[in-house]
Amino acid sequence: MRLTSQVIITSRFDETIADLKALAQEGERFEVIRPDEGKTFQVKDAKRAIEKAYISSDVRKIVILISEVFSDVVQNKLLKAIEEPPPGTEFILILPTKSTLLPTIRSRLPITVLEEQDGREALTLDMERLDVRSVYAFVQEHKRIDTAAAKLLLEQIASAAIRSRRYRLDTRTLDHLRDSRLALDKGSPASFVLTGALLKLLARKKRERP
């Protein structure tokens, strides 16, 4: 994930917000807007979001809109602000399904689909204490997994790295993690891809202060 304007498809709202906030640079401001009532984003919620977005600020602002449902009326209400956001403002919509998105929203915002964590085994890799030995052991443990399982592991690894705040996750590192998934789709062995991704993260791990 990145802190840029987009639609994120997931039902794990709070965890996704935490992951996004972990990506923030010092001083960046978050505005999280949820429906005041029920599960549907109302016109009044959209107005509140737009007002927050247009409040003058000297720092980068990320406006996160979360709801089970965004009606067509609400999406149209938000469209102009999404098309021409105030300087330094990013809009991120989080909802559980993309089927209700209008074509106008789809054409203006990239869509990121997050696979759900329910039913997965816990990640056995301690990202706080990642080193070459633990990378080797982890890859050996999972060297025979299929592509789908490897993708899920990459997502868990990335999420754990973000939450730990122990890694300098710049754009190139995040791009590498994304490209790792593409490499799996093209037939690269899971062990090779996992090794590359983990060593890349290890190289970006912050040194512990003495």
CATH number at residue 10: 3.40.50.300
> Is 157 a domain residue?
yes
- Give the pLDDT confidence of 83-138 residue by residue, as tens digits: 999 999 999 999 988 878 898 998 899 988 886 544 455 678 888 889 999 999 99
> Is 120 a domain residue?
no
- Give the pLDDT confidence of 139-151 residue by residue, as tens digits: 998 888 888 888 8
> Is 92 a domain residue?
yes
102 and 16 in a common domain: yes
3-state secondary structure of 186: coil
> Is 210 a domain residue?
no
Domain count, the chain: 2
132 and 94 in a common domain: no
Using an 8 Å Cβ cutoff, are 115 and 158 in contact? no
* Domain end marker among 113, 136, 169: 113
89 and 182 in a common domain: no
145 and 96 in a common domain: no
> Is 15 a domain residue?
yes
| Contacts with 145 (C-beta within 8 Å, 6 or more apart), sequence order | 153, 190
Element (H, E) at 74: helix 72-83
177 and 136 in a common domain: yes
Distance CA 67, CA 13 (A): 9
Q: Which of 57-61, 183-187, 196-200, 205-209 has the lowest mean pLDDT?
A: 205-209
* Domain end marker among 71, 90, 113: 113
- Give the pLDDT confidence of 52-85 residue by residue, as tens digits: 999 988 889 999 999 988 989 999 999 999 999 9
The pLDDT value recorded for residue 207 is 79
- Give the pLDDT confidence of 7-59 residue by residue, as tens digits: 998 888 888 998 898 888 888 899 999 998 778 899 999 999 999 999 988 88
132 and 109 in a common domain: no
Structural domain of 87: 6-113
76 and 13 in a common domain: yes
The CA angle 88-22-167, to the nearest 5 degrees, is: 115
Residue 1 has pLDDT above 70, yes or no: no
3-state secondary structure of 53: helix
Residue 187 has pLDDT above 70, yes or no: yes
Residue 166 has pLDDT above 60, yes or no: yes
> Is 62 a domain residue?
yes
